A and B are shown apart, each in its own frame.
Chain A
Amino acid sequence: MKARAFSILGNLVVLAAGLAVLFGLPAYGETYLIINSTIFAAFAILALSLALIWGYAGILCFGQAAFFGLGGYTYAVTAINMGDTTVPALLAVLVPAAFAALLGYFMFWGRISDVYLGVITLTVSLIFFRFINQTAGEQWNIGDAPLGGFNGIPATPILNWPARPGDQLAPEDVFSLSVGLLLIVYFCCKALLATSFGRVIVAIRENETRAELLGYDTRVYKLAIFVIGGALAGLAGLLFANSVFVSPTMFSLPVSGQIIIWVIIGGLGTLIGPIIGCILMQFLTNYLGTLSQLKGFGWVDPNLVLGVLLVIFVLAVPKGLTALVTDAWRGLKGLAVRRPAAAPQPSERASD
């Protein structure tokens, strides 16, 4: 009963915080902060996608960047060709999902697992990266949209209000859309994990053979969650394309690595953890970047500081920030609640 109350309270806290950011930030923040926050929200959805498939289904995907980039590129290419962004926005979610279905079929029906799956997904995202990187030139145009090679597609059309092609969203509206979508996606994922589908997914993560012996076709369930993860990553790519621009670095290895880092720092096996980890790391990276530009701080290389912090973090906080918070909370509760001393038990020794 208590646990139920706490989890409802937790959800309400997250909802309140999310709504505060959604309505509070545009009122008080400057445009620079709003645009940065849109990017953070897009990355948070990306972190959520990996949190779902890795934390809850046990699929270590090293290549979420592939779906991220695919979503961004699909949106950019179709929006430039079509003019109205309603269909491209849908396609930006559906095309990565379809590709995830294909890749998932290829992998899960082959019973590929853990590190080999990681390498295959890594390789796939690298294939995209290498291939798109060399698509400069006229022969690589899709309709009106140049793929642009290493430079990417700079003039990505911003989303417009559905079915009103001339009426584009202002940066504040894109921000509201991103944060709103983040909240909706977070609570939908929570709801999904509470259904029996979610239960089976967790069972598969715990022991796949046992889940199979209980009668579930684990390949189908893994494929389904993988497709959902791909769709979420595509959505993140769509939002990213609207706030920054589309380039092959969306497919690159550092992006895939960063997603994994966010999930590990936030806490593998939770949903809110990776979001917090992502936002924290983004803040830290930005802060270190601006710090290293100041006089006298030239030695502060963002990579160096970040790397050292990560190593210290792993040695000190192995289970992630969420576990740290919950352990601290439990520790405090233990201190606060004094149990009455147990009454001495009557001796139960048989008399000799």
Chain B
Amino acid sequence: MDYVVILLLQIGSAIASLVLLSIGLAVIFGMMRVINLAHGEFLMLGGYAAITAYNLGVNLWIAMIVVAPVTVGLFGALVERLVIRHLYGRLIDTMLATWGLSLAMIGFVTVVFGNTVSGISAPLGSFQIGAYRTGVYELFLILVAVVLLLSGWLVLRYTRLGLIARGTMQNAGMAAALGTNPSAVYAVTFAVGAALSGLAGGLLAPLSGVVPTIGAAYIAKAFITVISGGAAILSGTAIAAALLGTINTVATFAFTSVLGEVALLVAAVVLLRLLPQGITGRFFRRAL
């Protein structure tokens, strides 16, 4: 019985981490169709920001929830101003530019912080379920993922900012004709997406430690989740994360963790083959 509970908790934790990894990319890709190949590096930067702030004496929670998103959000705004804004609509050029950006970020962090793994231990300790112990931090991450999705939905659905964002996403020219400034919307969206990635990186740092090259491990999963999810930002990411996270965890429990990863990848391939426009290209098409 407690084995089932642990399994369910692990599934929830896997889904939550996929949601956290992908939400920043979903906002940027869903809104502006920009393939941000530096997404993994934004996550890495968030992790380093959190760890550095913590090592400088800042409270861990503030470091993870405030310092990391703000730092990476500001950096994202800078990047958008300098680089991305010249390249809207040019898919290939944004790929090249963001790949260069990711290399530059890895190089910069390597020079400043070195190549070794730094980390902090996961806070909140652990609790007992029957014969097994699991970390309370993982439950916290599930909570954060739910809060993020919910607040994203609330903002997009009920605030003026969300309305403008949705309008620009659907038809930028029309939104411009109606008086909004699409380039300002894009700038804010990119910064918000970067901030979300920074938050995710900061929150995930205690679980895996940070190295300059950790971005590469994250980016593939984030991409696969976002593209499998389809056009809708929130519901697409949530559904795709739920499906892929479940398959990953079940396969990990049944075989090894590597085969769990392979199962996730195979599931993504089959999903994309059956639903070429992503999940929300076919179901829940009008969802947020």
B220 & A314 in contact (Cβ 8 Å cutoff): no
B107 & A302 in contact (Cβ 8 Å cutoff): yes
B258 & A307 in contact (Cβ 8 Å cutoff): no
Task: Report chain A residues within 8 Å CB of B37.
Answer: 257
A307 & B105 in contact (Cβ 8 Å cutoff): yes
- Chain A residue with Cβ nearest B230: A116
Task: Report chain B residues within 8 Å CB of A311.
Answer: 83, 97, 100-101, 104
Flag whether A315 is at the interface (Cβ < 8 A): yes
> Which of A130-138, A155-163, A216-224 interfaces with chain B?
A130-138
Distance between A321 CB and nearest chain B CB, rounded to angstroms: 13
| A–B Cβ pairs within 8 angstroms, 11 of them | A115-B35, A119-B223, A127-B265, A130-B265, A134-B258, A253-B219, A260-B95, A298-B111, A303-B103, A304-B103, A311-B101
Flag whether A13 is at the interface (Cβ < 8 A): no
Task: Report chain A residues within 8 Å CB of B102.
Answer: 307
Task: Report chain B residues within 8 Å CB of A302.
Answer: 107
A307 to B105, CA, bound (A): 8
A119 to B276, CA, bound (A): 11
- Chain B residue with Cβ nearest A258: B99
A314 & B277 in contact (Cβ 8 Å cutoff): no
B276 & A112 in contact (Cβ 8 Å cutoff): yes
B268 & A123 in contact (Cβ 8 Å cutoff): yes
B100 & A304 in contact (Cβ 8 Å cutoff): no
Identify which of residues 287-319 in chain A touch chain B, using a CB-to-CB cut-off of 8 Å. Answer: 298-299, 301-311, 313-315, 318
Closest 5 CB pairs of A and B: A304-B107, A310-B100, A307-B104, A307-B103, A303-B107
Q: Which of A116, A130, A264, A306 contacts B103 (CB 8 A)?
A: A306
A126 & B265 in contact (Cβ 8 Å cutoff): yes
B258 & A115 in contact (Cβ 8 Å cutoff): no
Give the size of the chain A interface in residues (CB under 8 angstroms). Answer: 44
Q: Which of A113, A120, A265, A305 contacts B269 (CB 8 A)?
A: A120
Identify which of residues 90-125 in chain B touch chain A, using a CB-to-CB cut-off of 8 Å. Answer: 90, 92-93, 95-97, 99-108, 110-111
A352 to B126, CA, bound (A): 98
- Chain B residue with Cβ nearest A254: B216
Flag whether A107 is at the interface (Cβ < 8 A): yes
Distance between A236 CB and nearest chain B CB, rounded to angstroms: 21
Given contacts A301-B108, A304-B108, A307-B106, A314 and B97 within 8 Å (CB-CB): yes
Distance between A16 CB and nearest chain B CB, rounded to angstroms: 31
Flag whether A25 is at the interface (Cβ < 8 A): no
Flag whether B224 is at the interface (Cβ < 8 A): yes
Given contacts A112-B276, A116-B272, A257-B37, A309 and B100 within 8 Å (CB-CB): yes
The A contact surface, by secondary structure, is helix
A264 to B102, CA, bound (A): 16
Task: Report chain B residues within 8 Å CB of A334.
Answer: none
Given contacts A253-B220, A318-B93, A307 and B107 within 8 Å (CB-CB): yes
Distance between B31 CB and nearest chain A CB, rounded to angstroms: 15
Task: Report chain A residues within 8 Å CB of B256.
Answer: 134
Flag whether B87 is at the interface (Cβ < 8 A): yes
A257 & B86 in contact (Cβ 8 Å cutoff): no
A305 to B110, CA, bound (A): 12
Flag whether A268 is at the interface (Cβ < 8 A): yes
Task: Report chain A residues within 8 Å CB of B265.
Answer: 123-124, 126-127, 130
Q: Which of B90, B99, B101 contacts A318 (CB 8 A)?
A: B90
Flag whether B262 is at the interface (Cβ < 8 A): yes
Flag whether B266 is at the interface (Cβ < 8 A): yes
- Chain A residue with Cβ nearest B219: A253
- Chain A residue with Cβ nearest B212: A303
Identify which of residues 116-168 in chain A touch chain B, using a CB-to-CB cut-off of 8 Å. Answer: 116, 119-120, 122-124, 126-127, 130-131, 133-134
Identify which of residues 271-295 in chain A touch chain B, using a CB-to-CB cut-off of 8 Å. Answer: none
B273 & A130 in contact (Cβ 8 Å cutoff): no
Other than A126-B220, A254-B216, give 15 A-B pairs with Cβ distance below 8 A.
A112-B273, A116-B227, A116-B276, A123-B220, A130-B265, A260-B99, A306-B103, A307-B100, A307-B102, A307-B104, A307-B107, A310-B96, A311-B100, A314-B96, A314-B100
Flag whether A4 is at the interface (Cβ < 8 A): no
A115 to B100, CA, bound (A): 20
Distance between A323 CB and nearest chain B CB, rounded to angstroms: 13
A123 & B273 in contact (Cβ 8 Å cutoff): no
Identify which of residues 230-288 in chain B touch chain A, using a CB-to-CB cut-off of 8 Å. Answer: 256, 258, 261-262, 265-266, 268-269, 272-273, 276-278
Flag whether A344 is at the interface (Cβ < 8 A): no
